[in-house]
Structure 1
Amino acid sequence: MIRFRSPASLALAAACLAVVVPVPASAAGPGTIHVDCAATAPGDGSAARPVTSLDAVNATRLRPGQLVLFRRGSRCTGTLAPTGEGRPGAPIQIGAYGPGARPVIDAAGRPDAVLLRNTQWIELRDLEITNAAAPGSNRRGVHVQLENYGQGHHYVLQNLNVHDIWGDDTKSTSGSDGILFSVVGDERASSFDDVRVVGNRVAGVNRGGIRLVVSQWEQRAQVGSTAPYTKPWTPNTHIVVSDIGGDGIVILTARDAVVEGNHIAGFQRRSAGYNAGLWPWNSDGTAFRHNEVSGGTTTRDGMAFDVDQGTDGTTFEYNYSHDNAGGFLLLCNAAGRVANAVIRYNISQNDSYRGVEMCSGGLESAHVYNNTIYVGDRRSMTVINENTTAPHNVRFDNNIVVKAGAGTAAMRLQPGTAVRPTHNILYGVTGAGDNPGGSTADPLLDTPGSATGISDLDGYHVRTGSPALDAGTIIPGNGGRDIFGQPVPANRPPTIGAAERPAAD
Structure 2
Amino acid sequence: MNKTLIYLLFSCLLIACSDGSVSYYLDATNGNDSNSGTTSNDAWQSLEKLNGVVLNPGDRVLLKRGDIFNGELEISAQGTPDRRIYVEAYGEGDMKPCIVGHDTSMYAARIYNSDYVTFRDIEIINTGKQPVPSRSGLKIESTDYGVSHNIVVDNVTVRDVNGSLVKEKGGGCGIYVVNGGKEKVSVFDSLTIENCHILRCTRNAMIWSAYSSREDWHPSTHTLIRGNLIEEVPGDGIVPIGCDSTVIEYNVMRNCPELLPETEAAAGIWPWSCDNTLIQFNEVSDHKAPWDAQGFDSDWNCTGTVIQYNYSHNNYGGLVLVCNSGESPASFNIGNVGTQVRYNISINDGIRPGPTRSGMFSPIIHVAGPVKDTHISRNILHVNKKPAADIDRTMMTLDSWGGYSDSTFVSENVFYTPEESRFNLTESTNNFFSENYYLGKFKALPDDDKVRLVSDVYLNKIVAADEAGFGGLAQLMDTVEVAGAKGVFINKEAIETFFEQLSEATREE
Q: Show the counterpart of 1:219.
A: 213
Match of residue 200, structure 1, among 196, 199, 203: 196
Q: Displacement of 1:485 after TM fit?
A: 5.8
1:228-243 map, 5 Å: 229=215, 232-243=216-227
What amino acid sits opposite 2:121 in the alignment? D
Match of residue 175, structure 2, among 175, 179, 187: 179
Q: Show the counterpart of 2:461.
A: 446
Structure 1 residues 268 and 368 mapped into 2: Cα distance closer, same or farther (>3 Å)?
Answer: farther
Q: Show the counterpart of 1:62.
A: 55
In structure 1, C-alpha distance between the alignment counterparts of 2:57 and 2:167, rounded to whole Å: 33
What amino acid sits opposite 1:484 in the alignment? A
1:260-279 map, 5 Å: 260-267=249-256, 269-272=258-261, 273-279=264-270
Does the CA contact (< 8 Å) of 1:263 and 1:291 recur in 2? yes
1:296 matched to 2:304: no
Does the CA contact (< 8 Å) of 1:375 and 1:409 recur in 2? no
Match of residue 143, structure 1, among 130, 139, 146: 139
Does the CA contact (< 8 Å) of 1:38 and 1:74 recur in 2? yes
1:369 matched to 2:353: no
Query: Bigger CA drift: 171-180 or 384-393?
Result: 171-180
Does the CA contact (< 8 Å) of 2:21 and 2:57 recur in 1? no
In structure 1, C-alpha distance between the alignment counterparts of 2:384 and 2:258, rounded to whole Å: 23
What's the CA shift string for 1:328-378, capped at 9, x where partnerless?
11111003311111111111100012111122x211210111111111122
| More helix as a share of residues | 2
1:44 matched to 2:59: no
1:354 matched to 2:363: yes
Q: Displacement of 1:79 after TM fit?
A: 0.7
Q: Show the counterpart of 1:77.
A: 70
Match of residue 112, structure 2, among 105, 112, 117: 117
Q: Show the counterpart of 1:126.
A: 121
What amino acid sits opposite 1:367 in the alignment? H
1:484 matched to 2:482: no
Does the CA contact (< 8 Å) of 1:304 and 1:327 recur in 2? yes
Q: Displacement of 1:450 after TM fit?
A: 4.3
Does the CA contact (< 8 Å) of 2:398 and 2:405 recur in 1? no
Structure 1 residues 414 and 83 mapped into 2: Cα distance closer, same or farther (>3 Å)?
Answer: closer
Structure 1 residues 264 and 423 mapped into 2: Cα distance closer, same or farther (>3 Å)?
Answer: same
What amino acid sits opposite 1:371 in the alignment? N
Q: Displacement of 1:409 after TM fit?
A: 2.4
1:362-441 map, 5 Å: 362-378=370-386, 380-388=392-400, 390-404=404-418, 408-414=420-426, 418-426=430-438, 427-441=440-454
Q: Show the counterpart of 1:321.
A: 312
Does the CA contact (< 8 Å) of 1:71 and 1:103 recur in 2? yes
Does the CA contact (< 8 Å) of 1:144 and 1:180 recur in 2? yes
What's the CA shift string for 1:353-407, capped at 9, x where partnerless?
2111122x21121011111111112255311112225352212221111112xx5
In structure 2, C-alpha distance between the alignment counterparts of 1:321 and 1:292, rounded to whole Å: 6
What's the CA shift string for 1:238-267, capped at 9, x where partnerless?
222211110511122111222221112134
2:63 alignment partner, SS class:
strand
What amino acid sits opposite 2:27 in the alignment? D
1:105 matched to 2:99: yes
Q: Displacement of 1:488 after TM fit?
A: 9.1
Tell me the TM-score normalised to structure 1 length: 0.79
* Bigger radius of gyration among the two: 2
Q: Displacement of 1:32 after TM fit?
A: 1.2
Q: Show the counterpart of 1:464.
A: none
Q: Displacement of 1:52 after TM fit?
A: 0.8
Does the CA contact (< 8 Å) of 2:21 and 2:58 recur in 1? no
What's the CA shift string for 1:298-325, capped at 9, x where partnerless?
3411001111111111111111111111
In structure 2, C-alpha distance between the alignment counterparts of 1:119 and 1:53, rounded to whole Å: 22
1:31 matched to 2:22: yes
Tell me the TM-score normalised to structure 2 length: 0.79
1:252 matched to 2:264: no
2:386 alignment partner, SS class:
coil
Q: Displacement of 1:117 after TM fit?
A: 1.3
1:163 alignment partner, SS class:
strand
1:52 alignment partner, SS class:
coil
Structure 1 residues 124 and 48 mapped into 2: Cα distance closer, same or farther (>3 Å)?
Answer: same
In structure 1, C-alpha distance between the alignment counterparts of 2:42 and 2:225, rounded to whole Å: 36
Does the CA contact (< 8 Å) of 2:462 and 2:473 recur in 1? no
What amino acid sits opposite 2:36 in the alignment? D
What's the CA shift string for 1:397-430, capped at 9, x where partnerless?
21111112xx542222226854332322212222
Contiguous gaps of at least 5 residues in structure 2: 1-15, 327-332, 351-361, 479-490
Percent of aligned positions that are identical: 26
Q: Displacement of 1:171 after TM fit?
A: 5.3
What's the CA shift string for 1:127-155, capped at 9, x where partnerless?
11111222411311110111111111121
Query: Bigger CA drift: 264-273 or 149-158?
Result: 264-273
Does the CA contact (< 8 Å) of 2:407 and 2:429 recur in 1? no
1:488-503 map, 5 Å: none
In structure 1, C-alpha distance between the alignment counterparts of 2:27 and 2:169, rounded to whole Å: 32
2:177 alignment partner, SS class:
strand
What amino acid sits opposite 2:338 in the alignment? N
State the Cα RMSD in Å: 2.9
How many residues were matched structurally?
435
